[in-house]
A and B are shown apart, each in its own frame.
Chain A
Amino acid sequence: MPVENPDVVVIGAGAAGAALTWRLSEHGAKVVCLEQGDWVNPIDYPSQYSDFEARMLRGGDFSLSPNVRRRPEDYPVSVANNGGFRPSISMFNAVGGTTIHWQAHFPRFHPSDFRVKSLDGVADDWPLTYQDLEPYYNLNDRMMGVSGLHGDPANPPRIPRATPPLPVGRYGDTLIRGYEKMGWHWWVADQAIISRAYDGRPPCLLHGKCMYGCPIGSKASTDRTYWPKALANGAILETWARSREVMVDSRGRVRGVLYYDRDGILQEQPGKIVVVCCNGVGTPRLLLNSKSRYFPDGLANSNGMVGRNFMVHPTRFVEGIFRETLDGHIGPFGAPLYSQEFYETDLSRGFVRGYTMVSGRTYGPLAHSRQVPWGANHHLEMARHFPHTAGIAALCEDLPNENNRIDLDPDLTDSHGIPAPRVTYTLGDNTTQMLEHGAARATEVLKAAGATEVRDARGNANMAHLMGTARMGIDPRRSVVNPANQAHDVGNLFIVDGSSFVTSAGVNPTSTIGALALRAADGIWERRGEWN
């Protein structure tokens, strides 16, 4: 049921929505959050069962793709086939959002990531700096609980991590050997997985099934970090509430949200402020579906920029097979270590900007078996692969391109008949060069580490990072929100998630999404005099 007279209506209960709701509720705002999914009971996590890999990999109910998973709370996403690389779209729709099954990498942007135009002459500068965001990175770190080690020469100094680094195991030691032989940078990763008890949550037990759901809550997912605190502050979370459109009043200001409740009944939730936190695909979809007399092309879209500049972090996975027995299938799934040797721009490499080499751990035997032929040699080949592989992913910065976009599919709808998003994406030349460079450097590291065979595991792929489709900027002609995440077109509408990213950087985005959400919440609260 709609809540009477809330100050702020937040749409989406994932990384951004949770952080923003908590911060506003700390200040004393009356907040209601609409979430199309439900709470996920940890007893339902695949990690608890022997078919855990199948439930993610084969297309079960924990698949990364909503198109495969097809839970009632999911919506379909179409991807236009333009003959080239087609990004896979991953997300999870629930309280906690995609943090339910993320790997919990927790790097930060570099200062240069906010100044790409000034420094490298490409894309656009962010209208804020690393220093503007730093206090919110720190606050978000404290709220989520981070393991790691400060002192990395590739990153600005930061406050000590809440808990020490997680073990890297034989798997990590092997990769370290490679980086050391090459004389390249590496560092033990910041992870939103605690290595010691922290804030009422137990330390990681190293089971190695983080992506299949962490039932004990050592991995930070916002249903375990922000939401209990937000609810204790009085925030209201309405689950099974699928937003259809954001409504505007006769002055063109947002007046509330039209949503289907758990019984499928259309409700209107009024609010003085509406904050859209539906990820880089869901947010433009909702805005484009919110058409009115004032906004015939979609809410906050007077300049046609909503949905444009979609970015995904193209990635190349390179895998090495080693003689020694490794332990990639135990320990925290996220990267034990990373290298930013090739992060900052060096034009002699043939491209601008850069990438992180992420050394995530490996899946279990079922995932490994997929690369192994059937028949007489099956067991020998399997024994050669498992547990003997280590991999490196070159996670590349994706530069914004207005033609890479989300719009509405003319035919496809969700179970409520709401038009589905459609992705159109072309891999840029700069990114292609970067991917090749990353694959070659990853190969060198793995060989230096002692791999007997190195293979480019999957060709070009992409991460589950959905960014750029309601970009931030000072110029209302070229951006959707201002530096406070406030829509240029509508004063009481805010957009806070990966869609507000101006550029993607070459690192995982979630810590930056959380920091932006906390900062936006403070801005909304500071201007509470303008709410009515």
Chain B
Amino acid sequence: MPTKKKWTRRSFIESTFVTSVTSRAGLATVSSVVPAVGRSQEELPELPGFDQTQRLDFISMLDEIIPAADGMPAASEVDVDRYVATLFTQDQGLIEAFESGLDFLREKATERHGQSFSDLNSDQRIELLEQLEATDPASFRKVRGAVYEGYYTRPQIWHLVGYQPHPTNSEGPVMEPFDENSLERVRRLPKLYRDV
């Protein structure tokens, strides 16, 4: 079993900084595409404390919670993984929820299928995620909430779901003025309040 370090918010931030500097300095390992998630090693999120298997499982987990379907991208396709990694710097409880969830998925995937979670097919992954949700609903709710947050705060998703963001410095939407004629019937109602 890979060793796993328990991360505090401080150690996570410090480690993220080191990893980031190392990466920018060109010290990253040689690129190779990871078939399970369709990304190169360098494109996997920087998740200090998460080993390679956990990072792959992490992506797979996100993409089963919000998959690519019906013309919409999967979570990781709009960088939800990086968004969640940012949340890790603010929320120790969220790190713990993901860690325990990923531990559960890895253990069950190995036990039942002899594979890592990310190497399972979609049906198998969903089955394990449903088990996780039933076993530890509080942690799963936290995980799900973070994934949804990462997804639905993305401007490209707003466009796809029909949300008009109208930023502060814009003129705003055009809306028809209120039509007072629509109150014609109500105006004729008898007084509804009680005189005192």
Residues of A within 8 A of B (CB): 47-48, 50-51, 53-54, 58, 110-112, 114-115, 118-119, 129-130, 149, 151, 153-156, 164-169, 172-173, 176, 180, 183, 185-188, 205-208, 215-216, 325, 327, 329-331, 340-341, 343-344, 364-366, 369-370, 374-376, 378-380, 382-383, 386-387
- Whether B176 contacts A167 by the Cβ 8 Å rule is yes
- Whether B72 contacts A379 by the Cβ 8 Å rule is yes
Residues of B within 8 A of A (CB): 64-67, 69-72, 126, 129, 144-145, 147-149, 151-155, 157-158, 161-168, 170-173, 175-178, 180, 182-183, 185-187, 189-196
Chain B residues with Cβ below 8 Å from A166 are 178
Q: Known interface pairs A51-B153, A387-B163. Does A112 touch B196 (Cβ–Cβ under 8 Å)?
A: yes
23 example contacts (A-B, Cβ-Cβ < 8 A) are as follows A110-B193, A111-B193, A151-B187, A153-B189, A153-B190, A153-B191, A176-B182, A185-B186, A185-B189, A187-B183, A187-B186, A188-B178, A207-B166, A208-B166, A216-B168, A365-B152, A365-B161, A369-B152, A374-B65, A375-B67, A376-B67, A378-B69, A379-B70
Q: Main SS of chain A's interface residues? A: loop
- Whether B173 contacts A206 by the Cβ 8 Å rule is yes
Minimum C-beta distance from A502 to chain B (A): 14
Minimum C-beta distance from A446 to chain B (A): 18
Chain A residues with Cβ below 8 Å from B65 are 374-375, 378
**Given the complex of chains A and B, what is the CA–CA distance between A95 and B179 in angstroms?**
36
**Given the complex of chains A and B, what is the CA–CA distance between A325 and B161 in angstroms?**
11
**Given the complex of chains A and B, what is the CA–CA distance between A364 and B190 in angstroms?**
38
Chain B residues with Cβ below 8 Å from A155 are 193
Q: Main SS of chain B's interface residues? A: loop
Chain B residues with Cβ below 8 Å from A154 are 192-193
- Whether B168 contacts A47 by the Cβ 8 Å rule is yes
Contact among B67, B163, B191 with A365 in the assembled complex (CB-CB below 8 Å): B163
Q: Which residue of B lies closest to A380 (CB)?
A: B70
- Whether B196 contacts A119 by the Cβ 8 Å rule is yes
- Whether B175 contacts A330 by the Cβ 8 Å rule is yes
Q: Known interface pairs A164-B178, A369-B152. Does A383 touch B70 (Cβ–Cβ under 8 Å)?
A: yes
Lowest 7 A-B CB distances belong to which pairs?
Answer: A205-B172, A167-B175, A366-B152, A154-B192, A165-B178, A379-B70, A111-B196
Q: Which of B129, B167, B172, B185 has the most A CB atoms < 10 Å from its CB?
A: B172
- Whether B153 contacts A50 by the Cβ 8 Å rule is yes
Minimum C-beta distance from A398 to chain B (A): 20
- Whether A330 contacts B185 by the Cβ 8 Å rule is no
Contact among A114, A374, A383 with B66 in the assembled complex (CB-CB below 8 Å): A374
Q: Which residue of B lies closest to A114 (CB)?
A: B196
**Given the complex of chains A and B, what is the CA–CA distance between A47 and B189 in angstroms?**
40
**Given the complex of chains A and B, what is the CA–CA distance between A329 and B161 in angstroms?**
12
Q: Which residue of A lies closest to B133 (CB)?
A: A374
**Given the complex of chains A and B, what is the CA–CA distance between A375 and B81 in angstroms?**
17
Q: Known interface pairs A48-B168, A374-B144. Does A344 touch B194 (Cβ–Cβ under 8 Å)?
A: yes
- Whether A167 contacts B178 by the Cβ 8 Å rule is yes
Minimum C-beta distance from A361 to chain B (A): 11
Minimum C-beta distance from B56 to chain A (A): 19
Q: Which residue of A lies closest to B195 (CB)?
A: A111
- Whether A378 contacts B196 by the Cβ 8 Å rule is no
- Whether B151 contacts A369 by the Cβ 8 Å rule is yes
**Given the complex of chains A and B, what is the CA–CA distance between A48 and B190 in angstroms?**
45
- Whether B178 contacts A382 by the Cβ 8 Å rule is no
Chain B residues with Cβ below 8 Å from A370 are 145, 148
Q: Which residue of B lies closest to A176 (CB)?
A: B182
Chain A residues with Cβ below 8 Å from B152 are 53, 364-366, 369
